[in-house]
């Protein structure tokens, strides 16, 4: 046991004693990671290494390449669509348990960045365009996660709201918008969930990178909000030595150090960084280590799987409750019948499980269920199917369609009945494929053919190394198949030893492999259904390429990505065949949308549309059969030029492991939809408030919409979006009535000041808590849930321009058919009425008469009552 543990509880570090005894070099070592996922240990001082793991959609563990499978949550916007803090707490607790199984004591999530426009490549990770909803959900998620003594890490602090030039862009934002829109979710989440870590954003804010911004990290986070947790950089998001330490960045990630190490020791020696500043940073690292001790996760623990029945049930509930019923004309289309009617499933997303977006949020799930599989299980039989169109820009990954055995020798008739297991055999070598008799240094069976070796390690690996991926492909349909290969390094793809794709000479930089890889080179070959084909990729590491490495992730080892798909030779004919099938059945599920290739970390979308072929497919199927439910899978809005012809539309997001089952549950009525849009869906990309300011121009982006983000903009300009914030239908109908707004302090004192939708008196709320009560009734024939949304409108004579109304509270309530319940919601009066006063650099709750608006979306607030604030109050801090 360390000699410094005698005066503190068993298992905890005596931080003050350690700070007195550690050398400068030891303190410096603690301020950077040991590797990608671990902090640096000091065994002689009794200081262990702790493990962190990516976590927006699930806990990946320590491996980007060949990771241990985990539970995959619905994406951030899907979770936002639940409008359910209690559900988020349950999911957070599950993630805490998954983290322990993976040996991690800190999860890098949730993501609180604001969806200020529909094109953000990473928008699917975030909860909402609204700061209150984002902060509320994140706070409860953090609370659930930390019930397991696993630290939540709020990210990315702050204004990392697009991917274009994300490490260099300077976000120009007014102090008021910064406070009211972008910092507010972090402020609320900290006050609710007390997360033990925060990750800084890559970008600059008003001229300074966040990781070295004293104004953000010290003045606001530490001094004003009194935050006492750890602040870490995003991966390779540290840009200085002295500046970052002085600003308050505790931990540089990942390791080994780029900006610290000997450079920081020299800065301390030369007094550019004081020992006191160094100690402040070390104290927070040791504090997180002490916090994590209660999780009882052994140092360098092996990674394990859970995949329990109760977890699968919770994931299915979360995915189904996230689905938003956008349209269901006259309640005539949905829910579909499970028996007595013929069903077709159509669309490019139907047989592929789009379970999460791309980038660091992606992970290897325990399992995934496609919409087709979920519907087939629900019906008890295989529905009829047509793909109709393709939606990929990169060819779909091939790995999980391969198997390691063959049904016959080299391309003989196998009929798909051969031996082996799902996936392909991967081998690493220190010699190129031209060396006869080379022996592998590593061998594995993989299912993911997007192999990025960023964190791959093997003790016998040479500086220049090679790998081979090999498996058997048995096509279900005859036709010409396109094969694609993107690499960081060099590679060739063979089918039955015939070279089909070469990505060796004349390589071009592309977007594969987190932007470190080449464009996808393609080739084609005619294949026969039911026949076995041997697919082989020969690859050389990044050092075999003539292309320069792409920082920060390029140049480590490299990687490869290979995929394939049957070519739709005649797109118009394929659409016509799908429409013909639709006309032959009673009901159609049409599954379209985006995927993790189109919505991914590192690159923003260029437009809001799906492919032209997909839109043509939707229009043709709708014309052939009006009894069609269009199911959209995306993390952010897509264009819907066919919306007026559609009778039923569902927004299904990326639903995690249970994607297909959840879609089937809602479509066939086993779950009554209750999801609400956590962001506004514009009719056109040009209509959204960030349209003219959504990319880095000369190294900066202007947040020109100021505080008018999302529905605030549409309200202010009186512009009707395609679907408003908070919108979502049900198979039931609900009635809200009898709104009463009461200042609780006055009520407890025996006063009668209150306001209701049928009275003209007002509640005199000078400070304290405002209580809102109303009655809600389920007037339909099915049990279901409704989300009561509370908005506050400013005084007519406000001293500054303010949004027409702003969301301040949500309450999700389940009612059986015919049931009536009373709902009570409490608001912090000062917080709910405050704006940021730039003249004073303080929050201001301005005296005057406010309106409390209650309804079921930002465009539907039928109940209204007055709320009077008796005096103006200025304040600062984490809460009034």
- Tens digit of pLDDT for each residue in 384-407? 999 999 888 899 999 999 999 854
Alpha-carbon Rg for the chain in angstroms? 28
Of 756, 749, 682, the residue nearest 714 (C-alpha): 682
Q: What pLDDT was estimated at residue 5? A: 37
Q: What pLDDT was estimated at residue 10? A: 59
Supply the mean pLDDT for the chain: 93
Is the confidence at residue 3, as pLDDT, over 50?
no
Q: Is residue 196 part of a domain?
A: yes
**Residue 274 and residue 398 in one domain:** no
Q: Is residue 658 part of a domain?
A: no
Bridge partners, 32 (sequence order): 252
CA distance 692 to 694: 6
Please answer whether residues 577 and 386 qualify as being in contact, where contact means their C-beta atoms are separated by less than 8 angstroms.
yes
Quick one: tokens of 169?
């862009």
Residue that has been written with the tokens 């509320």 in this structure = 136
**Residue 45 and residue 186 in one domain:** yes
Q: Is residue 398 part of a domain?
A: yes
CA distance 746 to 634: 47
Distance set, CA 256 to CA 62, 237, 259 (Å): 16, 13, 9
Q: Which of 234, 604, 715, 828 is catalytic?
A: 234
Residue 47's pLDDT band, with cuts at 50, 70 and 90, is very high
Per residue in 855-875, pLDDT tens?
999 999 999 999 999 999 999
Domain count, the chain: 3
CATH of the domain at 208: 3.20.20.300
Residue 11's pLDDT band, with cuts at 50, 70 and 90, is confident
Is the confidence at residue 767, as pLDDT, over 60?
no
**Residue 286 and residue 416 in one domain:** no
Per residue in 90-116, pLDDT tens?
999 999 999 999 999 999 999 999 999
Q: Which of 510, 542, 567 is the last residue of a domain?
A: 567
**Residue 175 and residue 43 in one domain:** yes
Q: Is residue 482 part of a domain?
A: yes
**Residue 128 and residue 251 in one domain:** yes
Q: Is residue 11 part of a domain?
A: no
CATH of the domain at 553: 2.60.120.260
CA distance 436 to 619: 56
Is the confidence at residue 568, as pLDDT, over 70?
yes
Q: Is residue 831 part of a domain?
A: yes
Phi, psi for 765 (deg, rounded to 5): -105, 85
For residue 398, the number of C-alpha atoms closer than 13 Å in the C-beta half-sphere is 34
Please answer whether residues 591 and 371 qualify as being in contact, where contact means their C-beta atoms are separated by less than 8 angstroms.
yes
Residue that has been written with the tokens 């429409």 in this structure = 579
Per residue in 527-549, pLDDT tens?
999 999 999 999 999 999 999 99
Is the confidence at residue 222, as pLDDT, over 90?
yes
**Residue 546 and residue 415 in one domain:** yes
Q: What is the mean pLDDT of residues 328-348?
A: 93
CATH of the domain at 852: 2.60.40.10
What predicted TM-score, i.e. pTM, was given to this entire model?
0.94
Between these two residues, 569 and 835, which has the higher pLDDT value?
835
Residue that has been written with the tokens 């594969």 in this structure = 512
Secondary structure class of 312 (helix, strand, coil)? helix
Asked if 234 is an active-site residue, the reply is yes
Q: What is the mean pLDDT of residues 350-363?
A: 90
Is the confidence at residue 4, as pLDDT, over 70?
no
Is the confidence at residue 485, as pLDDT, over 60?
yes
Per residue in 228-276, pLDDT tens?
999 999 999 999 999 999 999 999 999 999 999 999 999 999 999 999 9
Q: What pLDDT was estimated at residue 19? A: 97
Q: Is residue 64 part of a domain?
A: yes
Q: What pLDDT was estimated at residue 752? A: 43
**Residue 274 and residue 412 in one domain:** no
Buried residues in 606-644 as b, exposed as e (16+ CB within 10 A)? eebbbbebbbbbbbbbbebbbbbbbbbbbbbbbbbebbe
Is the confidence at residue 755, as pLDDT, over 70?
no
Q: Is residue 511 part of a domain?
A: yes
Q: Which of 293, 310, 332 is the last residue of a domain?
A: 293
Please answer whether residues 356 and 633 qualify as being in contact, where contact means their C-beta atoms are separated by less than 8 angstroms.
no
**Residue 47 and residue 196 in one domain:** yes
**Residue 273 and residue 420 in one domain:** no
Buried residues in 348-363 as b, exposed as e (16+ CB within 10 A)? bbbbbbbbbbbbbbbb
Q: Can you give the residue range of the structural domain that contains 465?
A: 391-567
Q: What is the mean pLDDT of residues 142-154?
A: 98
**Residue 264 and residue 397 in one domain:** no
Percent of the chain with pLDDT over 70: 95
**Residue 286 and residue 402 in one domain:** no
Q: Which of 241, 266, 293 is the last residue of a domain?
A: 293
**How many CB atoms are closer than 10 A to CB 547?**
17
């Amino acid at each position: 046991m360390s000699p410094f543990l005698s005066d503190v509880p068993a298992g905890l570090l005596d931080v003050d004693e350690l700070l007195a005894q550690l050398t400068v070099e030891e303190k410096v070592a603690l301020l950077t990671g040991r590797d990608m996922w671990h902090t640096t240990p000091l065994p002689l001082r009794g200081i262990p290494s702790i493990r962190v793991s990516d976590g927006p959609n699930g806990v990946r563990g320590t491996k980007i390449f060949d990771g241990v499978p985990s539970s995959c949550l619905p994406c951030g916007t899907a979770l936002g669509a639940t409008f359910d803090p209690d559900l988020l707490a349950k999911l957070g607790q599950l993630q805490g348990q998954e983290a322990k199984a993976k040996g991690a004591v800190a999860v890098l999530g949730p993501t609180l960045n604001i969806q200020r426009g529909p094109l953000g490549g990473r928008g699917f990770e975030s909860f909402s365009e609204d700061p209150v909803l984002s902060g509320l959900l994140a706070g409860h998620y953090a609370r659930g996660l930390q019930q397991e003594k696993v630290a939540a890490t709020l990210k990315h602090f702050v204004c990392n709201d697009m991917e274009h030039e994300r490490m260099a862009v300077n976000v120009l934002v007014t102090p008021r918008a910064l406070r009211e829109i972008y910092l507010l979710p972090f402020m609320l989440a900290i006050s609710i969930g007390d997360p033990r870590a925060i990750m800084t954003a890559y970008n600059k804010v008003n001229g300074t990178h966040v990781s070295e911004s004293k104004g953000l990290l010290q003045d606001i986070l530490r001094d004003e909000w009194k935050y006492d947790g750890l602040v870490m950089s995003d991966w390779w998001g540290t840009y200085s030595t002295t500046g970052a330490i002085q600003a308050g960045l505790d931990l540089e990630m990942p390791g080994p150090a780029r900006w610290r190490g000997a450079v920081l020791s020299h800065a301390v020696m030369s007094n550019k960084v004081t020992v006191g500043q160094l100690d402040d940073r070390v104290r927070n690292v040791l504090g997180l280590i002490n916090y994590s001790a209660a999780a009882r996760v052994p140092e360098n623990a092996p990674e394990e799987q859970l995949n329990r029945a109760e977890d699968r049930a919770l994931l299915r509930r979360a995915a189904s409750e996230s689905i938003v019923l956008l349209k269901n004309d006259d309640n005539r289309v949905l829910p579909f019948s499970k028996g007595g009617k013929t069903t077709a499933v159509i669309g490019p997303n139907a047989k592929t499980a789009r379970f999460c977006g791309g980038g660091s949020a992606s992970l290897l799930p325990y399992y995934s269920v496609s919409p087709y599989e979920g519907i087939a299980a629900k019906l008890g039989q295989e529905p009829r199917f047509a793909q109709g169109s393709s939606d990929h820009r990169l060819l779909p990954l091939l790995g999980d369609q391969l198997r390691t055995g063959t049904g016959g020798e080299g391309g003989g008739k196998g009929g798909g009945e051969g031996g082996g297991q799902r996936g392909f055999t991967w081998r690493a070598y220190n010699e190129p494929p031209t060396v006869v008799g080379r022996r592998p240094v590593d061998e594995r069976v993989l299912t993911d053919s997007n192999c990025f070796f960023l964190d791959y390690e093997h003790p016998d690996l040479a500086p220049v190394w090679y790998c081979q991926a090999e498996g058997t492909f048995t096509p279900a349909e005859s036709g010409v198949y396109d094969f694609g290969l993107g690499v960081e390094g060099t590679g060739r793809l063979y089918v039955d030893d015939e070279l089909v794709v070469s990505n060796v000479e004349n390589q071009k930089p592309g977007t594969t492999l987190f932007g470190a890889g080449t464009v996808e080179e393609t080739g084609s070959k005619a294949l026969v259904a039911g026949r076995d084909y041997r697919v082989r990729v020969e690859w050389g590491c990044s050092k075999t390429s003539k292309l320069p490495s792409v920082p920060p992730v390029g140049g480590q080892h490299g990687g490869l990505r290979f995929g394939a798909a049957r070519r739709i030779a005649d797109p118009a004919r394929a659409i016509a065949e799908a429409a013909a099938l639709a006309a032959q059945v009673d009901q159609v599920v049409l599954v379209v949308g985006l995927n993790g290739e189109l919505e991914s970390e590192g690159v923003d979308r260029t437009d809001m549309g799906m492919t032209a072929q997909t839109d043509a497919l939707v229009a043709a199927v709708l014309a052939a059969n009006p009894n069609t439910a269009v199911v959209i899978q995306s993390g952010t809005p897509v264009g819907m030029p066919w919306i007026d012809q559609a009778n039923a539309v569902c927004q299904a997001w990326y639903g995690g492991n249970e994607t297909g089952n959840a879609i089937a549950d809602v479509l066939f009525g086993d779950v009554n939809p209750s999801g609400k849009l956590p962001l506004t869906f514009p009719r056109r990309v040009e209509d959204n408030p960030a349209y003219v300011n959504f990319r880095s121009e000369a190294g900066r982006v202007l947040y020109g919409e100021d505080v008018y983000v999302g529905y605030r903009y549409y309200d202010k300009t009186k512009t009707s979006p395609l679907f408003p914030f908070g919108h979502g239908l049900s198979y039931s109908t609900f009635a809200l009535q009898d709104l009463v707004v009461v200042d609780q302090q006055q009520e407890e004192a025996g006063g009668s000041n209150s306001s209701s939708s049928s009275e003209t008196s007002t509640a005199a709320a000078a400070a304290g808590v405002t209580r809102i009560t109303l009655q809600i009734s389920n007037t339909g024939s099915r049990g279901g849930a409704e989300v009561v949304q509370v908005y506050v409108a400013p005084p007519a004579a406000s001293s500054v321009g303010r949004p027409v109304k702003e969301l301040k509270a949500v309450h999700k309530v389940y009612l059986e058919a015919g049931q009536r319940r009373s709902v009570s919601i409490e608001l912090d009066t000062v917080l709910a009425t405050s704006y940021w006063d730039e003249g004073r650099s303080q929050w201001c709750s301005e005296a005057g008469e406010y309106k409390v608006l209650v309804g079921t979306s930002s465009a539907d607030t039928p109940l209204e009552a007055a709320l009077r604030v008796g005096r103006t109050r200025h304040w600062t801090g984490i809460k009034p």
